[in-house]
C-alpha cells in the first residue's frame, strides 16, 4: 500500500491511501483516521492497512500533492554514499558517513514547479531514497536498525553547488526554499520488503542521468542509523535521506546544471516517480 499527502478538490490538506490510481481520504476530510500522514506514522497507525470503506475518493491524475510529511523534526542527509558518486567526485574513503542537515521548511511536493534560486548558477539534482523513522531511536545497534524504520519514499536533494562549495560546510547549498522534493508516495517497510533491491533512477528531460540499486550504498541503512543515532536521537517522523548515485550534473563533461523548463524525475521502483519542473 502507498500513502500520499495532498489537497482535496476543495483545497483542504489531507492524506490517504493510493490504490490503482485512486486516493482514499483517510484525513480530516475523510474517515479521519489521523490529522496527517506524519501523525499517522508517529502514532504507529500504519502497521496494518487502514480501513478505507466510505472514504471519499479522488483520482491521482489531477490531484495537487503536498510534501509527504508536513514538518519532520529532523531531516538528516548522507553525502557521497554511493560508490559511483564517490568515484566521480574523486573523494577518498572517509571511513564514516558524511552527514548534513536539511531544514524541514525546504521540503517540496511531487508535481510542484520548483524555483531555481536566482542566487545560484550551479543548480543540480540528486535522486535518493529517504527513510522515515517509526520508533524512538537512540544508539541503535545495526541488528536492530530496521525495527525503527517506518518506511521509505523518493527524494530529490536539489543542490546549489556554488553555495555548497563556498566553504567546507554544505548547509547553505542544501537549504534553499523548495529544494527538497519529497514523494509522491510513502510505503511501509513491510510493504517494501528488501530495500536494497530498490533502484534509484533520475531522469532530466527523459535522459537517464543516475541509476543504481540501494545495495550499492557505501554505508548501508543499519550503518547510517548506528552512526546518526550515536550523536543525535531520532523520533518517529524524522527523515534520513540516504545518498545519491553517480551521474549528477556537476561531474558531467562539461558540467551541466538545471535550467528553467527542465523536467526532473526520480523513479524508485514501487515507491513511484517523483516529478518536478524547474522554473526561473
Where do the structural domains in the chain lie, given as residue ranges?
A: 2-59, 75-279
Lowest mean pLDDT among 52-56, 90-94, 102-106, 141-145: 90-94
State residue 258's pLDDT score.
98
* H or E segment to which residue 132 belongs: strand 127-133
Superfamily holding 75-279:
Fumarylacetoacetase-like, C-terminal domain (3.90.850.10)
Q: Residue 162 contacts by C-beta under 8 Å, 6 or more apart in sequence? A: 120, 121, 122, 173
Residue 222 cell numbers, joined: 543499519
Residue 155 cell numbers, joined: 527524494
User: For residue 54, what pLDDT band results from cuts at 50, 70 and 90?
Assistant: very high
CB atoms inside a 10 Å sphere around CB 265? 21
Please name which of 187, 126, 179 lies closest in space to residue 153, comparing C-alpha atoms. 187
State residue 89's pLDDT score.
83
Mean pLDDT (whole number) for 188-201: 98
Phi, psi of 223 (to 5 degrees): -65, -40
Asked whether the predicted pLDDT for residue 35 surpasses 90, the reply is yes
User: For residue 93, what pLDDT band results from cuts at 50, 70 and 90?
Assistant: confident
Mean pLDDT (whole number) for 20-45: 97
**CA-CA distance, 1 to 17, in Å (whole number)?**
7
With 0.95 as the threshold, say if the pTM is over it: yes
Q: How far apart are the first and last CA of the chain?
A: 36
Asked whether the predicted pLDDT for residue 90 surpasses 90, the reply is no
Please give the C-alpha separations between residue 137 and each of 72, 171, 192, 214, in angstroms, as whole numbers: 15, 24, 21, 22
Q: What pLDDT digit, counting tens, does each position of 218-276 carry?
A: 999 999 999 999 999 999 999 999 999 999 999 999 999 999 999 999 999 999 999 99
Amino acid at each position: 500500500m502507498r500513502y500520499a499527502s495532498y489537497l482535496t478538490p476543495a483545497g483542504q490538506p489531507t492524506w490517504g491511501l493510493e490504490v490503482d490510481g485512486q486516493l482514499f481520504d483517510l484525513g480530516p476530510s475523510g474517515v479521519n483516521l489521523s490529522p496527517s500522514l506524519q501523525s499517522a506514522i508517529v502514532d504507529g497507525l500504519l502497521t496494518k492497512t487502514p480501513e478505507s470503506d466510505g472514504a471519499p475518493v479522488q483520482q491521482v491524475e489531477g490531484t495537487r500533492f503536498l510534501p509527504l510529511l508536513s514538518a519532520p523534526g529532523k531531516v538528516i542527509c548522507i553525502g557521497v554514499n554511493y560508490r559511483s558518486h564517490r568515484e566521480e567526485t574523486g573523494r577518498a574513503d572517509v571511513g564514516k558517513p558524511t552527514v548534513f542537515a536539511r531544514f524541514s521548511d525546504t521540503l517540496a511536493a511531487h508535481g510542484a514547479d520548483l524555483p531555481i534560486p536566482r542566487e545560484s548558477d550551479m543548480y543540480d539534482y540528486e535522486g535518493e531514497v529517504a527513510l522515515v523513522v517509526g520508533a524512538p531511536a537512540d544508539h541503535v545497534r545495526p541488528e536492530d536498525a530496521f525495527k525503527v524504520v517506518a518506511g521509505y519514499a523518493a527524494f530529490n536533494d536539489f543542490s546549489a553547488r556554488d553555495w555548497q562549495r563556498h566553504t567546507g560546510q554544505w548547509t547553505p547549498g542544501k537549504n534553499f526554499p523548495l529544494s527538497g522534493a519529497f514523494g509522491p508516495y510513502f510505503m511501509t517497510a513491510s510493504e517494501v520488503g528488501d530495500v536494497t533491491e530498490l533502484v534509484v533512477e533520475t531522469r532530466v528531460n527523459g535522459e537517464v542521468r543516475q541509476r543504481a540499486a540501494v545495495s550499492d550504498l557505501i554505508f548501508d541503512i543499519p550503518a547510517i542509523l548506528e552512526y546518526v543515532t550515536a550523536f543525535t536521537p531520532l523520533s518517529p517522523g524524522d527523515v534520513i535521506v540516504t545518498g545519491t548515485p553517480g551521474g549528477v550534473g556537476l561531474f558531467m563533461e562539461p558540467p551541466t546544471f538545471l535550467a528553467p523548463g527542465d523536467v526532473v524525475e526520480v523513479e524508485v521502483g514501487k515507491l513511484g516517480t517523483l516529478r518536478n519542473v524547474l522554473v526561473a
